[in-house]
């Protein structure tokens, strides 16, 4: 089956759509561009489907390359057969290809290779055949020579060769691998180690391999790496030996005992250790992919949180001994003022700090205080709640994640942006900007440091970066970027651009003061026609010469957009003045297919153009839930069983969701408490940023744990 046919089948696509996607990728088009501006060519697949398609395409091409390499090596050895050709053709995974290659792969020195070098392969053939026409001891006599002085050594060499052949059998390995994955049990033993208390729940732990959840696999792996756990997989050996005997054991009293010894040796020394490693690796790969998927699922809503535009924000980076760093930013994110206050222990200069911030709040008309959720966050929150009572204007506060803020502050980018500020003041600016425009600020941070998942440091870092970078690209391009205000960091994620071109855009913008239209991009050094095609639709020119430049309509569709307006006696002035409310109804009355044909585009593009013409300059994040703003604080000690809170989902993991209810310590809604019905995975019910009603089930002050439930809480509130 050709790759395009296989992908069409796997993704449920028409074959021409699959072929189009492959061609578009090969031509150097980006996923955001394909998803947005080539819908007619792939049936309006979304960006996630296209990324999965691209990943699978890469894997299948890799698979074909490996098959070609294996065929070449075996052919060069003069051992290529029709049976091997069929087996290789039918191999659907890299593991299956590796199994086929195993007997022909150059090996390091093994017991079998030593025996082969001594010329014992013929005796091994006789032993493996187990024919009653031969007496093994008599045949072994024929192989005695200087380097094989005894019958015992000859038979042992033959046994070593057959043992390796058994281990190298592709069909056998496949069957045993499936049994181990289905019936294997993972066992954990707690070792003597100063850190083993972390893993005490895994003392004597046993669970079937097939039922191990991803987070547990990663926890076990970490425990093993930290030498706190001994981990092994066990299996009912009878299941395994029944299969091996079926492949290799024949009824011959002369060789039965010897073959039993060979099979046992092959299983204990070669087969099972190899299969156990494979099984553990497969579990880890599965867990890694699931964990990376959760990062992906959590990151998108975090980046797409509604920005708090048109607000003056005071960022507060909490600390104890070194004081809380303060930065005030204006509506455009520019820094107005900075300072340091000491309201937390050991100084505890609360009154002095209140007076200092009162001056700043009233001088700059601060609307919101953004507090980082790191060290001393709770004390800082208590201080801000008290501060608000002393201010003569309406001020609220929000606690924001400061994950990665220190990474950004100490980065080259942070130093370039604020060369005159020390590291901690840069953090305060970042914390303020995260509330004002989460996407624009968070893209400055290494995506792995944003902290919306588990075990990020245990993941394959290249794969994690690749997936999360894809999420950032999709978010940036779906929102669109203001060409005249965007930083190089933000521009670098736009389809078709990289950091080098992004810096050239900013340098050219500085030179001309501002872009008047999209076409001026073609004058930017190194930004050629292909890059322009990929990026133009995602860049906005606010207040420019052409209203269409402030929409997601691609320049290639401007003529179509103008024809559409002309059909219904509308103008670009109507677009500017938001006078196109009736346009969708008029198109429907005339017929979408007919209108699309008349202006020379497909129906999906017609729908996109219509939507964009109605709301030029819109930010799709404005429809997202706004950050929770507070003016008072709750203490963990105040929590009682049965209390109901409005919370915000901060993280979603395989076993539940962590919810912020305003007490500094997030509470856990276990997967079993997310809904009255069965929940396969928490991401089916909640996502990061969701506002949810939760009830306190229990509070453990010593362990700082809060257990929450969402079951029936909405109904309970309604009945009050």
pLDDT, tens digit (0-9, with 9 covering 90-100), for 575-632: 999 999 999 999 999 999 999 999 999 999 999 999 999 999 888 988 877 777 877 7
**Alpha-carbon span 710 to 686, nearest angstrom:** 11
Give the domain 506-623 fold.
DNA polymerase; domain 1 (1.10.150)
CA angle 460, 464, 468 (to 5 degrees): 175
Give the domain 3-104 fold.
Arc Repressor Mutant, subunit A (1.10.10)
pLDDT value, residue 403: 80
What is the layout of strands, in order, in the sheet containing 206-208? 206-208, 185-190, 229-234
pLDDT score of 64 more than 90: yes
pLDDT score of 552 more than 90: yes
Cβ within 8 Å of residue 296, ≥6 positions away: 467, 468, 470, 471
Q: Which tokens is 70 given?
A: 């294996």
Q: 3-state DSSP call for residue 434? A: helix
Nearest to 494 by CA among 417, 507, 505, 555: 505
**Alpha-carbon span 380 to 326, nearest angstrom:** 12
pLDDT value, residue 374: 83
Cβ within 8 Å of residue 459, ≥6 positions away: 288, 291, 292, 448
Bridge partners (DSSP) listed for residue 625: none
pLDDT value, residue 716: 67
**Alpha-carbon span 144 to 415, nearest angstrom:** 77
Bridge partners (DSSP) listed for residue 231: 188
Bridge partners (DSSP) listed for residue 481: 539
- pLDDT tens digits along 219-277: 999 999 999 999 999 999 999 999 999 999 998 998 999 999 999 999 999 999 999 99
Superfamily of domain 313-463: YqgF/RNase H-like domain (3.30.420.140)
pLDDT score of 518 more than 70: yes
- pLDDT tens digits along 372-410: 988 888 899 899 999 999 999 999 999 888 887 888 888
Nearest to 22 by CA among 1, 42, 47, 45: 42
Cβ-based burial of 363 (10 A; exposed 0-12, middle 13-18, buried ≥19):
exposed
pLDDT value, residue 648: 87
pLDDT value, residue 584: 95
Q: 3-state DSSP call for residue 540? A: strand
pLDDT score of 718 more than 60: no
Q: Which CATH class is domain 111-290?
A: mainly alpha
Superfamily of domain 636-719: Nucleic acid-binding proteins (2.40.50.140)
Q: What is the mean pLDDT of the chain?
A: 93
- More confidently predicted of 482 and 720: 482
Domain boundaries along the sequence of the chain: 3-104, 111-290, 313-463, 506-623, 636-719
Torsion of CA 138, 140, 144, 147, to 10 degrees: -170
Cβ within 8 Å of residue 624, ≥6 positions away: 301, 304, 305, 306, 689
The pTM assigned to this predicted structure is 0.84
pLDDT score of 567 more than 90: yes
Q: Look-up: residue for tokens 């296989």?
A: 6
């Amino acid at each position: 089956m050709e790759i395009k046919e296989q992908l069409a089948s796997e993704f449920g696509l028409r074959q021409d759509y699959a072929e189009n996607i492959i061609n578009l990728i090969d031509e150097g088009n980006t996923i955001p561009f394909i998803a947005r501006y080539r819908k007619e060519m792939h049936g309006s697949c979304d960006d996630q489907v296209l990324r999965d398609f691209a990943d699978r395409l890469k894997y299948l091409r890799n698979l074909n390359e490996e098959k070609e390499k294996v065929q070449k090596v075996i052919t060069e050895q003069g051992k290529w057969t029709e049976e091997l050709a069929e087996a290789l053709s039918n191999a659907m995974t890299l593991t299956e290809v590796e199994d086929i290659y195993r007997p022909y792969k150059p090996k390091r020195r093994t017991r079998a290779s030593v025996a082969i070098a001594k010329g014992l392969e013929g005796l091994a053939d006789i032993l493996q055949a187990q024919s009653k026409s031969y007496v093994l001891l008599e045949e072994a006599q024929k192989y005695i020579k200087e380097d094989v002085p005894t019958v015992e050594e000859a038979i042992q060499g033959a046994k070593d060769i057959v043992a390796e052949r058994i281990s190298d059998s592709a069909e056998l390995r496949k069957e045993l691998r499936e049994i181990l994955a289905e019936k294997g049990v993972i066992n954990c033993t707690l070792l003597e180690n100063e850190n083993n208390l972390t893993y005490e729940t895994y003392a004597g732990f046993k669970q079937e391999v097939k039922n191990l959840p991803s987070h547990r696999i990663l926890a076990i792996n970490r425990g093993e790496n930290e030498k706190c756990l001994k981990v092994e997989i066990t299996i009912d050996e009878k299941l395994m030996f029944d299969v091996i005997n079926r492949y290799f054991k024949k009824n011959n009293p002369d060789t039965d005992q010897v073959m039993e010894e060979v099979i046992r040796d092959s299983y204990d020394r070669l087969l099972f250790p190899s299969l156990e490693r494979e099984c553990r690796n497969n579990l880890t790969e599965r867990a890694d992919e699931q964990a990376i998927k959760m990062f992906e699922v959590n990151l998108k809503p975090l980046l797409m949180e509604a920005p708090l535009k048109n607000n003056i924000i005071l960022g507060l980076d909490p600390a104890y001994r070194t004081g809380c760093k303060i930065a005030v930013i204006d509506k455009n994110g520019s820094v107005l003022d900075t300072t340091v206050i000491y309201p937390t222990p050991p100084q505890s200069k609360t009154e002095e700090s209140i007076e200092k911030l009162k001056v700043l709040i009233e001088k700059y008309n601060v609307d919101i205080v953004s507090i980082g959720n790191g060290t001393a966050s709770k004390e800082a929150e208590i201080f801000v709640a008290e501060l608000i009572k002393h201010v003569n204007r309406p001020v609220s506060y929000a606690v924001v994640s400061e994950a990665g803020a220190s990474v950004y502050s100490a980065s080259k980018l942070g130093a370039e942006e604020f060369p005159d500020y020390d590291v901690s003041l840069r953090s305060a600016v970042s914390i303020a900007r995260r509330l004002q425009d989460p996407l624009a600020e968070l893209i400055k941070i290494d995506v792995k440091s944003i902290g919306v998942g588990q075990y990020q440091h245990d993941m394959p870092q290249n794969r994690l970066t690749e997936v999360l970078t894809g999420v950032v690209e999709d978010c940036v391009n779906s929102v669109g970027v203001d060409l005249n205000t965007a930083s190089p960091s933000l521009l670098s994620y736009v389809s078709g651009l990289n950091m080098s071109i992004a810096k050239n855009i900013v340098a050219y913008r500085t030179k001309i003061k501002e872009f008047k239209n999209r076409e001026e991009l073609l004058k930017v050094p190194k930004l050629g026609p292909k890059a322009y095609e990929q990026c133009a639709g995602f860049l906005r020119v606010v207040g420019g010469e052409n209203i269409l430049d402030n929409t997601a309509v691609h320049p290639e569709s401007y003529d179509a957009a103008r024809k559409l307006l002309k059909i219904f006696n509308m103008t670009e002035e109507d677009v500017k003045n938001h006078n196109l409310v009736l346009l969708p109804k008029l198109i429907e009355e005339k017929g979408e297919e007919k209108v699309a044909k008349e202006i020379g585009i497909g129906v999906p593009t017609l729908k996109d153009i219509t939507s964009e013409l109605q709301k030029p300059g819109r930010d799709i994040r404005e429809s997202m839930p706004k950050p929770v703003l507070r003016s008072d604080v709750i203490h963990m000690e105040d929590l009682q069983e049965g209390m109901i809170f409005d919370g915000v989902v901060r993280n979603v993991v395989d076993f539940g969701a962590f919810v912020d209810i305003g007490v500094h310590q997030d509470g856990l809604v276990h997967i079993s408490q997310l809904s009255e019905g069965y929940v396969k995975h928490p991401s089916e019910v909640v996502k990061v940023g969701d506002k949810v009603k939760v009830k306190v089930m229990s509070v453990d002050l010593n362990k700082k744990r809060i257990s929450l439930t969402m079951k029936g809480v909405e109904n309970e509130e309604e009945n009050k």
